[in-house]
Amino acid sequence: MTYKKNPLSPKQAFDALMEGNRRFYSDSLTHTWRVNTERRENLLAGQSPFAAVLGCADSRTPPEHIFDAGLGEVFVVRNAGNLVDPISVGSLEYAVEHTGCPLVCVMGHRHCGAMNATVAAARTPVSSGSPHVDVIIERAMPAVIAARQDRADNPEWADAASLMNVALGCREILRISGIIAKAVGSGSVGLAGLLYDVGTGRLEVIGRYGDIL
């Protein structure tokens, strides 16, 4: 079932997301007013979030809090390292196709454990001891290698890899998802890459695609 499209344009959705982050880092949260019984009951008929966010599973990076979002406002997909894979892309496509979401975001963060583990593996290639964690490292490795340059002995290598991972993730979504690429190309959906600072609570915009420039 396709629900009524969110009335916000991609640019308005992006601005609303960033304004929510401003409220978050300035300790001016408002979402508690949008998580009550009335809100839950109003959402029984369906959802029309204004943004879909692919984020990291790190417990310090919950998008609903970072964007000061209430119930039904943000469609969230999370995995370790905010990695683009068939399941995450399919979830984002669902948000675009079936909830009318006008904005898709890839949000990485500084001090990311997945990037730290992948940097360690780039320095000393060895199994993590878990074949499932090894898959995460394998998928994150292109960003780590691309960010390496002269950072091999630099403690900021992992943060540079997080930034690169967001940029590559946005490009990969556009490459493999005909649904999202078409929507971005038509201007009906925007795509943004964001990097979150776990210390300050602020977001850095890494890239914008579509009608949110």
Q: What is the DSSP string of 122-166?
A: HHS----S-HHHHHHHHHHHHHHHHHHTT-TT-TTHHHHHHHHHH
Residue 150 has pLDDT above 80, yes or no: no
Instruction: Identify which has the larger pLDDT, 107 or 212.
Output: 107
Render pLDDT for 66-91 as a digit per residue (tens, 0 to 9).
999 999 999 999 999 999 999 999 99
Average pLDDT of 10-32? 95
Instruction: Give pLDDT, residue 153.
Output: 59
Confidence band, pLDDT 50/70/90 cuts, at residue 1:
very low
Cα separation, 24 vs 33, in Å, equals: 14
| pTM for the full predicted model | 0.93
Q: Are 172 and 106 in contact (CB under 8 A)?
A: no
For the chain, give percent helix, strand, coil, nearest 5.
Answer: 50, 15, 35
Average pLDDT of 13-29? 96
Token look-up 């508690």 returns 32
Homologous superfamily of the 10-209 domain (CATH)? Carbonic anhydrase (3.40.1050.10)
Boundaries of every domain in the chain: 10-209
